[in-house]
C-alpha cells in the first residue's frame, strides 16, 4: 500500500492506494500556502497517518505529485506560483525522515501520466502523451516506458506552446499560448467578451456551465464550445504531428464534457496531420477519474522503486 500525496494550488489530498491502483482511503484539506511549509508538512503527516489507520494498512512507501515546478530527483520544490515561499523546501527528505520509508515526487501532470500509463487508459502504450485540460493545460510524455524529462529533469510545458501570436495574454508573459486559448477560463473570458449586454447567463459562468448551456441550445455557449473545440484541436494536432504517439490520453475537468469536443477535434487532426500516420494515434479519455492525480502520485513511487527496479511504467 502506497501513501499518496497530491499537492495542488488550492488543496492537498492524501490517500492510500493499493497495488492495483484503487483508492482505499482518502482525505483532503486546503493548501493554505500562507501558513507556511512546516504547517503544510504537519498536515500532510497527520493525514497520511489517519488515511493509513482508516485503510487499516501498513505503508510501503510514499509518492507525491505536486503542482510545479518541482525537482523530482532532488525532491525540492521550485518557484511555484501558488506557494512561492516554499521554494527550496524538500518534502521528499522530510517525509522520509518522518516515516522512515522511501519517498518519490514528480510534477502532478507527470504523476497523472504515470498513473494512466500504469493503471489507466494508457496501459500497454509505449508512446503515450497525457494532456490535462482544466484551469490550465498540462501534460506528461512517456516514451518506450520511460517518463520523458527535459534538461536538468525539467518538465515540458505543453500548455505554453504557441497557437496564435495575436492571442490573449498568458500568465507566462507571452501571448496566445494553448492554455490561454483553450483552458477552462479561456471559455469563460471569451463568452463574456462576446456576450451582448442582455445575455441572461453571464453570472457564475464556468467551462462546465457553458457546456451545459450549449447542450440546452444556448447559441453563444454553442459558439464557445465550437471555439474551444478548434483551439483544443489545434494543440492536439500539433502534438500528433510532432510526436505521432500511440495514444493521447485526455484528462482534467474540461474533458468531462469531451463528448462535445471529440468529433471536431478528430476532424481537425484528420485535416491537418496529413504528413504523419495520424490514424495510428488513438485519442482516448483518461480512466482514473477525479482522483487521477492522487492515484498517479502512488504510481510515482512504483515508477521509482517498483518491482522492476524502478523507472518502468509497467
Ligand atoms: Zn503561456
pLDDT in tens, 281-293: 999 999 998 899 9
Q: Give the pLDDT confidence of 31-45 residue by residue, as tens digits.
A: 999 999 999 999 999
Which residues lie below 8 Å from residue 197, measured CB to CB, with a gap of 6+? none
Say what the pLDDT of residue 129 is. Answer: 97
Task: For residues 167 and 159, give the distance between their C-alpha atoms in angstroms, rounded to a whole number.
Answer: 14
- 189: helix, coil or strand? helix
Task: For residues 85 and 266, give the distance between their C-alpha atoms in angstroms, rounded to a whole number.
Answer: 43
* pTM for the predicted model, two decimal places: 0.93
- Residue 124 sits at the vertex; the CA angle it makes with 235 and 265, to the nearest 5 degrees, is 25
Say what the pLDDT of residue 58 is. Answer: 92
Find the 4 Cα to ligand 1 centroid distance in Å. 29
What average pLDDT does range 302-312 have in this prediction? 76
Which residues lie below 8 Å from residue 3, measured CB to CB, with a gap of 6+? 14, 15, 16, 48, 51, 52, 59, 61, 62, 63, 99, 101, 298
Say what the pLDDT of residue 309 is. Answer: 53
Local confidence band at 82 (pLDDT 50, 70, 90 cut-offs): confident
Find the 176 Cα to ligand 1 centroid distance in Å. 7
pLDDT of residue 113 exceeding 60: yes
Query: What mean pLDDT is reported for the chain?
Result: 95
Find the 162 Cα to ligand 1 centroid distance in Å. 8
- How many CB atoms sit inside 10 A of residue 258's CB? 19
8 A C-beta contact, residue 12 and residue 31: yes
Say what the pLDDT of residue 306 is. Answer: 85
Find the 218 Cα to ligand 1 centroid distance in Å. 30
What average pLDDT does range 1-28 have in this prediction? 96
Find the 157 Cα to ligand 1 centroid distance in Å. 9
Going by the DSSP 8-state scheme, the letter that residue 276 receives in this structure is: T
The C-alpha cell of 252 is what?
482534467
Reference 53, options 15, 21, 22; nearest CA is 15
Say what the pLDDT of residue 26 is. Answer: 97
Say what the pLDDT of residue 68 is. Answer: 86
Reference 184, options 249, 80, 256, 237; nearest CA is 256
pLDDT of residue 308 exceeding 70: no
Return the bridge partners of 65, or none: 6, 106
Q: Which residues surround ligand 1, an ion (CB under 5 A)?
A: 160, 170, 172, 177
Find the 151 Cα to ligand 1 centroid distance in Å. 20
What average pLDDT does range 59-83 have in this prediction? 94
Find the 143 Cα to ligand 1 centroid distance in Å. 25
What average pLDDT does range 257-271 have in this prediction? 97
Say what the pLDDT of residue 226 is. Answer: 98
Find the 234 Cα to ligand 1 centroid distance in Å. 16
Amino acid at each position: 500500500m502506497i501513501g499518496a500525496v497530491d499537492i495542488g494550488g488550492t488543496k492537498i489530498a492524501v490517500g492510500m492506494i493499493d497495488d492495483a491502483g484503487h483508492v482505499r482511503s482518502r482525505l483532503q484539506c486546503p493548501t493554505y500556502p500562507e501558513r507556511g511549509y512546516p504547517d503544510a508538512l504537519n498536515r500532510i503527516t497527520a493525514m497520511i497517518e489517519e488515511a493509513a489507520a482508516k485503510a487499516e494498512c501498513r505503508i510501503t512507501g510514499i509518492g507525491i505529485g505536486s503542482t510545479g515546478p518541482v525537482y523530482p530527483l532532488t525532491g525540492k520544490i521550485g518557484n511555484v506560483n501558488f506557494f512561492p515561499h516554499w521554494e527550496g523546501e524538500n518534502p521528499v527528505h522530510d517525509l522520509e525522515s518522518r516515516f522512515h520509508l522511501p519517498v518519490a515526487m514528480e510534477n502532478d501532470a507527470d504523476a497523472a501520466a504515470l498513473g494512466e500509463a500504469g493503471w489507466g487508459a494508457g496501459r500497454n502504450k509505449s508512446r503515450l502523451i497525457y494532456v490535462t485540460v482544466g484551469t490550465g493545460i498540462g501534460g506528461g510524455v512517456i516514451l518506450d516506458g520511460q517518463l520523458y524529462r527535459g534538461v536538468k529533469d525539467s518538465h515540458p510545458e505543453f500548455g505554453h506552446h504557441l497557437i496564435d501570436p495575436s492571442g490573449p495574454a498568458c500568465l507566462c508573459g507571452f501571448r496566445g499560448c494553448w492554455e490561454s486559448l483553450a483552458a477552462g477560463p479561456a471559455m469563460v473570458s471569451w463568452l463574456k467578451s462576446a456576450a451582448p449586454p442582455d445575455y441572461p447567463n453571464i453570472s457564475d459562468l464556468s467551462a462546465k456551465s457553458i457546456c451545459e448551456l450549449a447542450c440546452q441550445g444556448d447559441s453563444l455557449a454553442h459558439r464557445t464550445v465550437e471555439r474551444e473545440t478548434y483551439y483544443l484541436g489545434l494543440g492536439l494536432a500539433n502534438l500528433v504531428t510532432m510526436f505521432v504517439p500511440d495514444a493521447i490520453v485526455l484528462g482534467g475537468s474540461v474533458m468531462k464534457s469531451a463528448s462535445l469536443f471529440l468529433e471536431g477535434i478528430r476532424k481537425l487532426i484528420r485535416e491537418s496531420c496529413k504528413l504523419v500516420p495520424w490514424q495510428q494515434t488513438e485519442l482516448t479519455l483518461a480512466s482514473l477519474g477525479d482522483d487521477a492525480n492522487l492515484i498517479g502520485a502512488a504510481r510515482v513511487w512504483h515508477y521509482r522503486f517498483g518491482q522492476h527496479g524502478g523507472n518502468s511504467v509497467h
